Structure 1
Amino acid sequence: MTTEPESSDPIGDWRIYRGDGLPHERVRRLPPPPPWRRFSPEEAVQGRGRREQQAVSYRPDESVVDKVNAAVLLRRPLLVTGKPGSGKSTLAYNVAYELGLGSVLYWSITSNTTLETGLYHYDAIGRLHETSLRGVGGRADTAEPPDIGRYIRLGPLGTALLPGDRPRVLLIDELDKSNIDLPNDLLNVFEEGRFTIPELQRLPEEQARIHVMTEDGGQRVPVEHGEVRCTSFPIVIITSNGEREFPPAFLRRCVRLVIDPPGRDRLAEIIEAHLGPEARAGSEELIEKFLARRADGALATDQLLNAVYLATSGSRPPDGKLDEILDAVLRPIEMPGAG
C-alpha cells in the first residue's frame, strides 16, 4: 500500500478525508475538537469532561434560575419542557457543577422503563449461579448463599434517595417517552422520599444491615431493614420534549419550567462561553442567519455553535465551500406543522 505525500494536497488543512481512494496520514493533523466534543482522558482527569464543559458554559436566563431555586427550596421535582437542543439536560449538570454536588445521576427513559429499574436491580440469577458453584463437590442445597448485597445495585433514583448531608442531582431524561403509568408510579416515591427492597426485608434479623452497590459505582452503602430513606430530598430535574401530557396529580407536585429558545444577546453569550470573545465578535452574521432560519423551522443552539466553530476555527473550510457547509449544519430539525 502506498501513501500519497501530503505536499500534493492543494486544499490545505480543511479536508482530512478526500475521497480519492489514496491512503494518507492526514488524520494525524486533525485540529483540536470543539470544547463540547472532547473525550480525552486528560479532560476527565482535570474534572472538565464533555458534560462538565457544557455545564460550565451553560447560560440560563433569569426565569430559569428562579424556577430552579423554587424547586430546590420546595424540595419538589423541576419539570423542564422545551424543544430538543434547548439545554434541558445541560441544566442539571450546570446545577450540580455550580452547587458542588458531585456527578449527576442520569436516568434515561424509554417506553419500557419501569419504576423498579430506577430504584434497584436484583441479579437473582447471578446469585443462584454462584450458590451452585459453591456447592460443586458437595451438596448444593447446603452451600452457604453468597452475600446478597453484591447482587443488588441501586438505580439512579434509588441512589439519589440515599441518606446524606447534601442532596444529589438526579436527571430523569425525556419522561414523555415513558409508558402511561410511570409518572403516577413516581408520585409516592417523590412524596415519601423512601422505598423498600422486598428481597432485603425478607432476610432474618441478624441480616438487617446489608451493604449494596450504587448507580455511580462508589463504595457499597448500608441499607437497614430493606428500606432506603433520604435525609435530603434530591434535586430532581425531569425533561420532556412536550410529546405528551402528564397526569394532573403529577404536574401538581412539580415546579414547571418551559425553556424558550435563546434570543440574540443570549446566543452571543453562549458563543463566548464556549468559544471565547473572538468567536463572539465574528459571529454576528451567523446569529442573524440562525435566527432567520429558526423562525421557519426548529433549530438547536448547538447547531449554531457548530456553525460558528467551523467559520472561526483555524481549520475552517475555504470561502468557496463555507456557505455550503454552513447551510448543511444549519438545516432545520423539523418544519412547522411537521409530524
Structure 2
Amino acid sequence: MSLAVVEVPAGVGWLQDERVRRRTGGILQYEDLEPCLAELLDRSALRFAHRTAAVDRSGRAITYKELWEGSARVAGGLLDQGVGPADRVVVHYRNGFPWLRAFLGVVLAGAVPVLPDPSCSDTELAHVAADSGAVLTLETDLPDGVPFLDGGASPDELALLYYVRTCGAGLRGVELTNTNVLSTIEAVAYAMDLTAEGARTVITAPLSTAVGCSVQLLPTLSFGGTVVAAGVRGTRVPWRHLRASFPTARCVRGWGVAETGGIGLLLPSEFRRRHPRSVGIPFGGIEVALLGPHAEEGVGEMLCRGPSVAQRYWNDPEATAEVFGDGWFRTGDQVFIDDDGFVNPLAVRVS
C-alpha cells in the first residue's frame, strides 16, 4: 500500500520572501537571479573592492580586491593546466585563505569545485576524485597565472558538487546547479539581513560543507560582508564556545543538508521560548510535506522541495530515483509538525 504525501503550510509569515514565485512544475523559484555564481561574486568584488572580505584565525585581513586578484590568478593557472568549463576540480584545504583562493579560482575558471566531506581519509579522497571525474586536486601549492574570469555558465549548469556521507558511511556526490546555489544565497541574505553594511559572519563549520560554504561563506561575500574564521580543523565549533567568544553575535538554530542547498528550516529567536524543541519553519521558498501512516496527524518522514533543493546525486541513478522521486527530497528524518507549522525532531539532523 502506498503512503500519501501530506503537504504542510508554512504557518508563519516572518520568513516568507515575496520575491519567490511558483513556476512550471509547481516549485517555488526566485525571480531575477544572476545567471551564475561567478558573475554574482565578480560584481560583488568590484562593488566592495576595498572592504574587508575575510579575516583568518590569526587576525590577518584581506580585502575583496586582494582576494579576487589572487583568485583570478589561480583561475589563470588552472587554465594553463588545461582546466576548462564544467571540469571538476577537488578543493582540499583546511579553512583559511588558501581554501578561499582555490575555491574561488575554480569558480572563476568556469569549472566545478568538488568539496569532499572533511572527514575523508586519503583513500576516500582518491575515490571522490575518481568518482567525480576530477581533472585535478588542489591541496598543496596553488596554480598561478594571468588573471582570468569565465562568466559563461547558465543557471541550470552544475555549480558545486558536495560529497557527503550516506547512512552506510559511504560517500555520495550531491549536485547543485547555479540556480540552487544562488537561491540559497538569496534566502540566507534575506533571513539574516546580510545586505546591511558591516555584516560579519563567523565561519563555524568546515568550508567544504554546505553549511560552511553555501550558507555562511557565499551569502556573506555576495553582499559585501566579512567572513571570520573560527573552526579550521574540519569540525564545527560548539554553540556555547561561540557565545563566549562572540557575545553580541546573533546565533540561530536551523536545519539543512547538502541536498537542500544547506538550508531548509530556521527558528527565529522570538519563537524559541514557545517552541524550545523546534528546529524551525521553512524559508527561502522551501516547502515541506510528511510521508507515513500518521502524516495527517502531523507525524512522519519530512520531505522538502524548493529552489535550493538538488535534483539528483552524481553518477547514482538508483539513489536519485529513491530519494528525489516525485519531485520531493526524502530527508529520512522523522518529525512532528505542530499546528503553527514548526518542525520538531523525532530523529532529525540539526545544523
TM-score (norm 1): 0.25
Larger Rg: 1
The answer to which structure has the higher strand fraction is 2
TM-score (norm 2): 0.25
The answer to which structure has the higher helix fraction is 1
